[in-house]
Each structure stands twice: as C-alpha cells, then as structure tokens.
Structure 1
C-alpha cells in the first residue's frame, strides 16, 4: 500500500472533541467543548421553523446568501468604522473554523511561516500545517498572558506571512489592549505581514475590558483578514455559520478557496441567521449581562471549593490549576490528559487538558467553560466540590 500524507502524522485529532466523546460515553457534564445547553433566541428558531416549511432548501449563492452578507457587512461596518461592501468584501463560511482555514490557505504558500500566540486554540497549529506553513509560537506570559515585545519581534524577523490573533483569547480569556494591538500593528507594517483575526467571542467581554477590532486600527484593514462566527453570539454552534471580512483582492481569493472547500453554508440556516444579525444593540448588552452573571457565579463557586483559577476578561473559559492534585499519591505520574479523563469518569465533569493549548511544557492546567444554565452550573459545582475532600485527606 502507498504511504499516506506525511502531514496527517504531524498533529492529533482534536483533544477538545475527544473529551466530548469521553464525556458522552460516561454521562458526564461536558465543560470541555464550548457550546451552551440553552436555546438560541426564539426569534431565530421561529424563523427557522417557518423556513423549514417554505424554504429555501437548495444551494444559496456560494459565497453566502446576499441578505446574510448584507447583514454582516452592516454590523461589521459599524464595528470597523468603515463602509464594507457585502458583495466584494464578505464571505459566509461553514463556521469560523472554515473561515480561518480559508484565510490561511489564501495567504500561505508551502514553507511560509505563521506566528501563533501560545496558548492557542488547537486548530491553529493544524491549520498552519494543512496550509503547508510552519507555525512560530510566541508565548503569552501568565498570569496576565502578556507578550514580550522583543520575543514577538524576533518572531517577525523570521519573515512570517501572517500572525494569527485570537481576541478575546481562547483558552486564556485575555482581551488584548489597544496598546498591545498598536505594537502588533507596527510590527506587521515593519515586516510586511498579514494579520488574521479570530473574533468569535467579540461580544463576550467583561467590564472594564473593551473589545478593539484590529481591522479598525489606522491602516490595518488593508492587511487584515477578519474571521468570526455566529455560533457563540447567538448560541447556534451546530448551525456552523461563520464569515470572513477582508479587502476585495483578498476576499476574492478566499472565495475561490471556499468554493472548492465546502461550496457553501446551509441555505435554510443562513436565512434564519439574518434575523439575529438584525437584532439591535440591546441584544448584545443583555448577552453581556447574562454571561457576566454566569462568570461571576461559576468563579465564586470555584473559590468556595478552593480551586485556583484564572479570571477571564472575555470568552466563557476558565483555566483551573490542578498542581495540588497531581502531587497526591493517587495521581502520581499522571499528566493533565489522564487527570482530565479520570475527572470525567469519577467526578462526572469533563474538562480539557491545558497541554492541548500550549506549545510550552504545561501539564498543570485544565480548561472549563460556563456556557451552561444555572441548574447545570449548580450540579457541576456540586460534583466539583468532591475534589476538595481529596486535598483534605
């Protein structure tokens, strides 16, 4: 038999999705893969019910239904403080995952380098490899997950084609400051580098932090490919709707990649999504209040249990330090993946091992999320509370 592609041996399957399968198998509460257990806005599901009967049910325009692209352009024009042409600068994709892949394949040639901040959402490394590119990892330094400017410039000196910028950051919950963005902007111009943003958590920002769209900075729209998703903002992760916004010459190339990668996103779901994109500002304010309440409630519960954790500035992810547990005789020799599997089976709560996000040798963290109803969070905290008895033995 001929050999398979070398690239498939350079990365594993998704650890996040693997933990979901383990969670499902053992009936645990899934705090690993980030999706809500509550419904999308009723206006969107009502629209989808009507569309299920009336259509459309056939292919939409490959690059996205015109009314959806127009709604995205209207929303992002306000965010970017510029007029975005929905016909020329917007592409609808099958989730933010495909939007990122389209961006990477549009700008990268085999052998190109791409800067990735570590820790990072696990897809980025695989996306670079599948694009034929080589990732250059730049560490974000805990506890605030800031970057060292000199280390970042050393990465730029390697002549990368692009930098991937996840803001707010998964898994850290970090919200990059405008000052940090200005440093990245200056370096991207100095070394003539694209910036590919992942902004799927753009509306999940907690006070006093503010979200800055990198493409809105002076002179940056021309070299920025902005990707995002409707999944988190409207609680529709299963609808698989994402989008890419970029200058015309970049977007036109991304459209070609998308056309032969997935052809198009589901047309009934696109029609229903237009309803959400036309919500007024009050929807996003209420979303922020909802998740702020969930964050504060969940973190208070972790504090009461005695679990050490980060405080996210954005997203719905929390990193929990499991160092004390790994020092116990019961867990001696375990790594974070093995502890995560043990916790899923024995505690009934499924995390993600932190090592799946870090290029550095990090073995003492797990990631949990709080995109769950209060009833589910109560049960999670009840189950997690059994962990403290291990420390008090």
Structure 2
C-alpha cells in the first residue's frame, strides 16, 4: 500500500495519546517492545484502510443484487448451522466457508474456562466494560466518527449499553460460541451489519476516508477487541478482583476466538495478556484524541443509569449508579480524561477506594475456601443476568446494530 494512503488521523495527537496510555506501561515487562518501530507504525496506519473483505463482499451482495430477502437468507443459513447448503450465492458461500472451520489454535476447553472465569467478578466486570472499555474509549475520536454518523446518540446510550451487554453475556455463557449458540450467531450477524455500515458510510459524501480511514476498520476493531479482553482484565484487577494468571490467559483465548469470528485479522489478535497489553498501548497511542463528539457521547453515557428499568426505588438507584460510574471513570481516565469527555471534573474515585479493598478480601476469601471459586462464578453469573434485566426491563429487542465492535 502507498505510504501516502495512511489516513491523517494516524498518530496526529501522539504526545497526548501517550499520556493517556502511560498507565499501561506499568503492566508491560518489556517497555522497549511496546514502542512501535517505523515499520510497525506504518502497518498500523495501513490497517486503518483495511476492512473485512469476505464480509464486505457479502454486504455488497445483500445491499445490491441479493435483494430484500438477502439478509433473511443469511440469517436462515446461520440459524440452521448448516454452512454447506447447496445453491448458496457465491458471497454467502465464501463467508460461511471462511468461518465454518475454526483456526487450529482454538482450544475448546480453554474457551469454556474463559467463559466461566468471565463471571467471577459479577457486576464489577460489567461496570469495568462500561466505564473503561466504553466511556474511556470515547476519547478516541476516530472510532467515534462511525458512531456519530450511524446515529448512536439518537438511538440512546441506554439501548446501546443494553444490547452490547446482551451480546457479551451470550458470548461468555459456557457453550455460547458453539455453532448453534446465540453468542456465535449474534457475533456473525453483527459482523455483517458492520460491513453494511462500512459500505453505507463509504457511499456518503460526508465520510472523509483520507482523514478517518475506512469505517469499522481493522485497527479500530482491534481496539474494541482489546477493550473486551485486556481492559476488562486490567480494570477488574484495579477494582480488587483476584484473577489468576490461568483465568486471565483463558479469557484472552476466548476473546481471541471472538475477535476472529468478528473479522479481526489474525495478525492483530493476541495469544497472551502481556502481548495484548503491548498491542493496546500501541493502538491507543495511534488514536486521535477527544473532540466535541467525545463530549457528547460521554455526557449521554453519563446519564445512562437514569434510564434503566430498576424494579424499585428507580430514581434513587439511578442517581446512585450514575455517581458510582462517574467515580470509576475518574479512576480509569484521570482528571484530564474527565474534562476531555465532558464529565464533572471535581469527581473523586471514592467508590474504587472503598470497594476495591473489600472486593479483594471477598474474592481472596472465596479462593481459599473449598468450592469458593465456583461460588464466585455462580453468584457473579446471577448478578450479571440480574443487571441485564435491569437494562432491558420487559423488552427483548433484536440484537442488531446496537453492538459496536469497532
């Protein structure tokens, strides 16, 4: 690829991005390896111009000659689990041929262990995904561009959080990535929807590829994959959850496979948590930093807890959760990050200061007692399901455009 085709957003705010990413360096053993050399930096910039070819071809067919029933045909094949049906259109066959055989590195026992380990922290893990993975991620204005142009603000933060949470829980349910399971099927539906969004925005005169690269490009997809894996683990540990090295590596393996299903190139997927930390650091320092859209998204997500479906004391619980999330965000992004996201600058990280030591004692005690780890997982899974009920209430919407993986 021509070096001049690297979008202008790549590394445009590197000094500020390095300040944001600096805490990650504390967790990287080989800090020299974290600094990308010239060739790595170039490849990262080029990844901004790469989409998901097999899904892109299918999206073009669905939006064009496939006609109005094309997406329904895709869903019917996906739901059937039979990816070798006769008379499939070439784009459909190419897509299902690409995903029907998992990579040789996939270890199904590790996937199951990773799914179970994801429940250990219960609601704390969900809060981390929201406040570190999503809210802190709004500081990357390049990724935000797709959200803004596809109406993320108009749909509402509550709906987006609920639908993303539903997809996440489907993926981390034991067996959730089997071919007949909801996590597997929803991941592939969202992959196609992202390709359709990519085509739609590229057709728009308002999309400037020379500045932003492709919508939902490879580097931005990697950033979100790392948010669900590396950031998820890092944030839980900051909040006092005791996670063993084996649990961490199994969760990384789980998300390596989910990332592969979602269309992230294998060269951007990480085998270990340490490798993932390096990849996340490099990705963050390449991102253009916050702008006014970051603040709009941040303020909308700040008020998201006020719209949840609490079974009782809704207003009080909504205000409490709003303050808890702001306090956690303050820990994760610091004072400058709060300002960049349009959040109250005087917020203190009071909740982590109180909760993390108690949580550390709680999880350590369960680890010591016989059967304690299994109890943590059972209690955590129950808390996660209850939280999903709070987000959705009595609604059961189709999980489609709400999940943003990139």
Per the normalisation by structure 1, the TM-score is: 0.26
Point out the structure with the larger helix share: 2
**Larger strand proportion of the pair:** 1
TM-score between both structures, scaled by the size of structure 2: 0.25
